[in-house]
Amino acid sequence: MSDDPAHPGLQHDVRLSERAKRAQAIHRLLVSKNIIGPDEVAEVIERVRTRTPADGATVVARAWTDPAFKTRLVEDARSAVLELGYRLSHDAGLAVVENTARIHHLVVCTLCSCYPTALLGPPPDWYKSFAYRQRAVVEPRAVMREFGLVLDEGIPVRVVDSTADLRYLVLPRRPIGTAGFSETELAELVTRDSMIGVGEARAPA
């Protein structure tokens, strides 16, 4: 038993922290004072649930199959993504950095958790953890190894620090053995982690 339909967010089966309760109190006050509508929060919750890394994967697959799009994506990610019909709710800039045989990018937000949520959904818990935020800029290769990515020592690593004004998305390397794959088939190989830089795109089965 969790949700009271009249009060979304109120869980009866868990002891909540003071901050959790205060957030619910703030929500109730805002609704009761007609500052926000009674259903607005529930609507946003539903919309957020629909956001997954699949949209980012579609953008990557397009870049792999359309060189002109890739050029536009790397030069002006925001316009290129809007061109595909995605909505970027954030006023913040978006930058796409390309991983190649000569450079590997890893994304972190050392200050908090800035992340291209419009294309990837909410960031995973580890992206927001102190350990990742602290270590990614100091020992990126060790961090990547923890995620199972052992990068060739000859490939330099560039760590990019996302901010509230500029969020990074990694364009991973296209896996070998995928010539002739459709965009849909390619998109299935693109993982969330490969778009953060802690992983690579999956090899085809």
Partner 1 sequence: MPSAHDRGGLATREPIDQTTHEWADWEHLVNALVGVLRRHDLINVDELRRGIEAMAPAEYESSTYYERWSASIEHILVEKGVLTTDEIAAATREIDANWE
Tell me the catalytic residues. Answer: 109, 112-114
29 counts as binding partner 1 under rule CB under 8 A:
yes
Q: Does 92 bind partner 1 (CB under 8 A)?
A: yes
Q: Which two tokens stand for residue 181?
A: 């794959």
Closest C-alpha to 170, from 140, 146, 142: 140
Q: Is 16 in the site for partner 1 (CB under 8 A)?
A: yes
Q: Contact between 88 and partner 1 (CB under 8 A)? A: no
Binding window for partner 1 (CB under 8 A); candidates: 41-49, 61-69, 80-88, 97-105: 41-49
* CB-based contacts of 68, cutoff 8 Å, min separation 6: none
- Total residues binding partner 1 (CB under 8 A): 59
Q: Is 80 in contact with 72 (CB distance < 8 Å)?
A: yes
List residues near partner 1 by CB under 8 A: 2-3, 8-11, 14, 16-30, 35-36, 40-42, 44-45, 48, 89-92, 108, 110-113, 122, 124-126, 128-138, 143, 146-147, 161, 164
